[in-house]
Amino acid sequence: MSGYAGLLAALVLAPLLPGVINRTKSFFAGRRGPPLLQPYFDLAKLLRKGAVYSTTTTWLFRAGPVVGLAAMLVAAALAPFGGVSAPLAFAGDFLFFAGLLGVARFATMLAALDTGSSFEGMGASREAQFAALAEPAFLLGLTAVAWKTGGLSLSGMLGANSFATWSGAAAPLALVCVSLLVVFLAENARIPVDDPNTHLELTMIHEVMVLDHGGPDLALIQYAAALKLWVLGSLVVGIALPVRSLAHGWAFAASVAGMLGLCVIVGVVESCLARLRLTRVPQLLLGAGVLSLLALFIGLK
């Protein structure tokens, strides 16, 4: 029952996260910044608009946002939240989770290539490269948690994660946290991998892939991106905060607070760091992979 509360929270609260990040960045820049609920206003506005399609595009371009959002919705049903199991939890679900992220990415890249634009081709090319390097870090990191906690599902892993687990295996769990945080930043197109606020098509990754989408399509994309921020973030928070030790209501509240805290961290990172050069990003992602591997080696008997 309460597994659905987590899913509902994801569906409702996800667009809040980019708002929090933006407010944090405004605070650091000394601006007032957009309202916290601005992403909701954007979605509502986009959903009321018409659309313009490039004459080059086919059904694949229109399918991209749809498939991307559907995959994220199913992924949200796999991610546990607030110390209770997810609605669709099962042994090995983190592999399905990675698969769904892959489907969403595949659809987005094809939609980008469908426009025939060089800019979108560049975005897709970068996305393919970084995702290929982020995937091992992600899967190995979660495997390390699985070996430490003895759980084979995301809910089992994070559900078994308590203060006792942390005191017993602080080093590997901390390594996984850092590694997953890097994956989280890379997959969600945040600094230091991608700059969501850049205004030059040549330097974008995620934003440039969706340049030609508008109206309801763009709304689907932005909502899916917010959901992705939520589900990947909930994994990082779930590992970092062993909320199982708390009572249900408190665990839920602590997890929501953790998500908002994570967004503040992202905002701080974006305010203090410059984006890495594109040729440096693989090093960062390989570094995350190495951290995951290290966590696994510590877990080996």
Partner 1 sequence: MTILLVALGLLVAGGAAALLCRRSHRAANLIGAGSAAAACALGLVPAVTGLVGGGARLESAWSVPGGSLALAIDPLSAFFLVPLFGLCGLAAVYGAGYLSAAPGGRSPGPPWFHFSWLVAGMVVVVTARNAVLFLVAWEVMSLASYFLVTRDDEREDVREAGWTYLVATHFGNACLIALFALLGPRSLDFADFGPASHAGLLFVLALIGFGTKAGFMPLHVWLPEAHPAAPSHVSAVMSGVMIKMGIYGLLRTLTWLGPPPLWWGGLLIAAGAASGVVAVMFALAQRDLKRVLAYSSVENTSIIALGLGVGLVGLHAGTPGVAVLGLAGALLHVWTHALGKGLLFLGAGAVLHATGTRDLDRLGGLARRMPLTSATFLVGAAAIAGLPPLSGFFSEFLILYGAVQHAGLHSLAAMVALALMSGLAAAVFVRAFGGAFLGVARDDGVRGAHDPGAAMRVPMAILAPALLALGLSTPVLLPALAPVVEQIGGLPARRELDAATAPLAVVVLGSTIFLALVALIAGLRRSLLAGRTVGAAATWDCGYAHPAPRMQYTASSFAQPLTALFGPVLRTRLTGDAPRGLFPAAAAFATRTPDVVREAALRPLFDLVSGALHAMHRLQHGRLHLYVISIALTLVVLLLWRLS
Which residues within the stretch 138-177 sit at the binding site for partner 1 (CB under 8 A)?
138-140, 143, 146-147, 152
CA atoms of 66 and 111, how far apart (whole Å): 11
- The residues in 88-147 that bind partner 1, with binding defined as CB under 8 A, are 88, 90-93, 95-96, 99-100, 102-103, 105-106, 109-110, 113-122, 124-126, 128-129, 131-136, 138-140, 143, 146-147
**Residues 71, 186, 235, 251: which binds partner 1 (CB under 8 A)?**
71
Of the candidates 21, 14, 164, 168, which has an alpha carbon nearest to the alpha carbon of residue 81? 14
Select from 132, 136, 128 the least CA-distant residue to 109.
128
Closest CB to partner 1 among residues 112, 251: 112
Angle between the 93-114 and 59-78 helix axes, to the nearest 10 degrees?
A: 160
Which one of 56-64, 183-191, 236-244, 245-253 is the stretch in contact with partner 1 (CB under 8 A)? 56-64
Site for partner 1 in 188-217 (CB under 8 A): 201, 211-212, 215-217
- Both tokens of residue 268? 């701080």
Number of residues written out for the chain: 301
295 is a contact residue toward partner 1 (CB under 8 A): no
In contact, 289 and 137? CB cutoff 8 Å: yes
If the CB atoms of residues 115 and 255 are measured against partner 1, the closer one turns out to be 115
235 lies in the site for partner 1, by CB under 8 A: no
Range 15-44, binding partner 1 (CB under 8 A)? none
Smaller CB separation from partner 1, 157 or 262: 157
Instruction: Rule CB under 8 A: choose which of 1, 30, 32, 50 binds partner 1.
Output: 50
- In the block, tokens 């901390």 appear at 174
- The reply on whether position 278 binds partner 1 by CB under 8 A is yes
Distances (CA, A) of 78 to 65, 99, 143, 186: 20, 12, 16, 21
DSSP letters of 108-135?
Answer: HHHHHHHTT-HHHHHHHHHHHHHHHHHH
Among 9, 78, 176, 209, which residue interacts with partner 1 (rule: CB under 8 A)? 78
Q: Which is nearer to partner 1, 5 or 211 (CB)?
A: 211
Question: Near partner 1 by CB under 8 A, which window of 16-24, 30-38, 63-71, 250-258?
Answer: 63-71
**54 near partner 1, rule: CB under 8 A:** yes
Judged by CB, which is closer to partner 1: 76, or 84? 76
Structure tokens at 124: 């897709």
Q: CA 259, CA 249: separation in Å to the nearest integer?
A: 16
